[in-house]
A and B are shown apart, each in its own frame.
Chain A
Amino acid sequence: MNGVVLPVVLPLLAAFLMQPLAHKSGVTARLLGPLVLAIGLAMLVQTWHLAQTDPFTVTFGGFAPPLGIVFYVDRLALIFAIAAQLFTLLLWGWSMDAQFDGEKKAREDALMLLLAASATGLALSGDLFNVYVFYELMAVSSFGLVVLKDTGPAQIATLRYLLISAFGSVIALLGIAFLYAQTGTLNLAQLGELAPKALHGPAGLAAFAFMLIGFGVKAELFPVNTWVPEVYAVAPARIAGLLAGLISKLAALVVLRLLVVVYQDTPAPQLLLVLGTLTVLVGDFSAWRSKDFPRMISYSSIAQLGLVFIGFSIPGPLGVLAGLSVALHHLLIKSGMFMLATRWSGSLDRLAGCAKSAPVATGLYLLFALSLVGVPPMPGFWAKLLIMTGLAQEGSVVYLVALGVVLLGSIVKVHYLFRFALKLYGRADLPPVRHSLMELGPAALIGIAIIAATIFTVPIGERLRAVAEQAADRDAYISTVFPDHKTAAVSEDRR
């Protein structure tokens, strides 16, 4: 059971050893990364059965939870940990270049491994400061991956991204500091235990707002997402796919954990709802105005993240289920879309007539677009339906406004996605663009996954519902971390 740390630790080890190894044997170094990720993936999949009925914890150094760091392993965490390893593997840079630079490749592989390790750790961690450290690791390695292309615009975009990130980190650190000052602990479960007394006042909610802004930088939340279109336009497309698909979801997962464990039954979800609604508006309308494919899909990714946050702000298991299904759906679709963007990196006009020259890619685009818009049998429809029912059930004015915005966003989305589809089927006046097999392969795999999800909607929905119910259960979280509740008594005495 304690082997769950290995998918986090082994990639770190491999990353540390990557450069010395690349000097000795280039081939081994190039194979090391995928191998380590595959091992981690296999271990996490095996763990799935252990967490099937009850979540469990992994402690570090033999120190019981409030003293030491703890990993909380439930199915929600495992889904994202598996996704972290799987998608890093799927979007791995299999460089086939003739002028191959072994040293640069080793550095890139090391950064990919660090990204995978930090994403896995972020999904599993049950300690707030540990989350912060992994979040920083994720940020720093993503800077390196974005600047990989080594062009002037990429450097400028990275610099601006870095500044916003650094500001967000300071804000998140302040939020964590305020939580610590009010409770004296960093363990999420203990924070949840103390929250009703200590944290549901204005100062506690302010701490939440700080952390929301801080972690919202990576989660593409409204006021701090100006970096998104810039970075996704200049980063290598598979890195953009990884950032938009995987990394943003992990940041959203942190917010979800905070919301469920610490801030249940407070006004905190309303703040999230407002910001999420604004994010949807900004994302969809900017996507509608954009003139090139990479930026269109990056704005659309902002809108989807807004939907995820709207979902999470609905209280109870239904909200978790709605947000989770949008998040997983978007994780698949956006990774696929950005794989298509490796070649379709130009303006929308330049891509006219691609349907003839690249029928497979166009077909995949149509599939993704249909699901993103939410055409009935596709999984995207069910995800959106869940959000809308949840919002309608809540019934208060804010939620109804959000419902209206979601509908409006959908209409705008239909327009811009299919405007581009029509263009693809239009007349070609430029030489055709063809994808290589390495680029189309992952996209095709994702397409198959989407079709499979359409066919098996019912069993997948059942599983997800169980996951969401497990994740939304605050008491289960606390009693898993503190089986004997001794610490609760201790903290009672101290107050």
Chain B
Amino acid sequence: MSAQPFLIAAAGLFSMGIYGILVRRNAVMVLLSIELILNAVNINFVVFNQMLSDVLLNGQIFTVFIITIAAAEVGIGLAIVLMLFRNRQTANINEFDLMKW
């Protein structure tokens, strides 16, 4: 089975993630968009692993690590967003422009 559809799907996911990051105002949604990108990467790794029949399963191991790290990062991200929300009563990232010169 060709790997192409999967890769295209992953690329699509990636693009959707980018779009989300750029367009969504809510910080949580932006976080989720980033998750999309990470998942696109995950798909890539798994597909490549299968496609190349990597006996060491490097791709899959990588995926596991990425999932872990993604979790950690979302944790960090949510902590920051929470903090922001506490201070500013909004999670709309467009309003964070205190330091605009």
| Binding partners A and B | no
Please report B residues at the A interface, Cβ cutoff 8 Å. Answer: none
User: Which residues of A pack against B, CB within 8 Å?
Assistant: none
